[in-house]
Amino acid sequence: MDTIHRNTLYGLDYSQLADLCTAEGWPPFMAGQLARWLYKRHVEDPAQMTDLATARRERLAELFGRAFSASVRESRSADGTKKYLFRTSEGHFIESAYIPDGERATLCVSSQAGCRMGCRFCATGRQGLQQSLPTAEILNQIVSLPERDTLTNVVFMGMGEPLDNLENVVRALDILTSDWGFGWSPTRITVSTAGVVPQLRRFLDATRVHLAVSLHNPFSEERAEIMPVERAWPIAQVAEILREYDFTHQRRVSFEYIVMSGLNDTPRHVRELCRLLNGIKCRINLIRFHKIPDSPYFSPDEAAMIRFRDALTARGIQTTIRASRGEDIQAACGLLSTAFESTPFERRSLCD
């Protein structure tokens, strides 16, 4: 199969396209022409950009390689969820999950191959970090999706920590939401983070998309046991930053909370969550823990999930239980991972 190249025209933002035109001695208006071909028509082959001079098309073909690459494997769940496996330019693998739900169709995209955050309950975290995806490889998951034209929402909740790859994620968001790009409303997009404090303000200032914070335990020492990121950037610091921003209008912040039976679902956790989140207009999304191999954690039953939700709601925090989707194909929250990294034979048979 064709693989994407590191040096691609697709994935450049408007200022980069303008810089390219300046460097090549081309007129400034050509940046707009390129943006239209790339992000309105999703044409990456310069030969098809028919309103450009032939010499310029040939020069673009010399400078840039292929960006689009179809998935190498597709898995289908009984509930309609689909999981797509993509091969990156560096030979790693990433997964994306397409989740249809009535009139909504959400794509869960990856920002990295693997992840260095090391969360104990997440299959991706066990891989370590192999690669941060360039902008083109983030967008490729959307553009090369067979269901691309049905998408209503995109969530950066796949493999990797988006704020650990901030430059490429912000550029992808700019392309998705700008008038010269896809032209999507920022309200269609949510970015998740475990709480990379040094990058959080820049993300909030540079974008208008929704934010989801992976919380999972309000007590610092307990959270650090399952999320090593807590030792570097405590969740209390994240909460303090969020209090500085307005989440009462178009933009919202939510806290993702994977519930592990007996570990983070007691009355004292309810009380501490209320204290931690005081002053932040938010919601909590409760997610049932999905078992990964050799994990010491267990899922609560439905009654326990409802009790925990109702206890938080009674204290004034809008709380919902997120339905699990795609669990039978390992596409549910915390399950995205790629065994192909350590299986050379499967890698050859799939992709060569």
The residues assigned a catalytic role are 95, 333
**Beta pairing, strands 282-288 & 210-214:** unpaired
Burial class, 294, CB count within 10 angstroms (exposed 0-12 / middle 13-18 / buried 19+): exposed
Residue type, 246: D
CA dist., res. 236 & res. 304, Å (int): 26
Cβ atoms within 10 A of the Cβ of 153, count? Answer: 17
Cα torsion 63, 170, 84, 196: sign: positive
Among the listed residues 64, 71, 19, 5, the one whose alpha carbon sits nearest the alpha carbon of residue 38? 64
CA dist list (Å): 278 to 231, 273, 312: 22, 8, 12
Residues 6+ apart with CB under 8 A from 112: 94, 129, 130, 131, 132, 133, 159, 160, 161, 164, 165
CA dist., res. 256 & res. 286, Å (int): 6
Contact 197, 240 (CB under 8 A): no
CA dist., res. 194 & res. 307, Å (int): 25
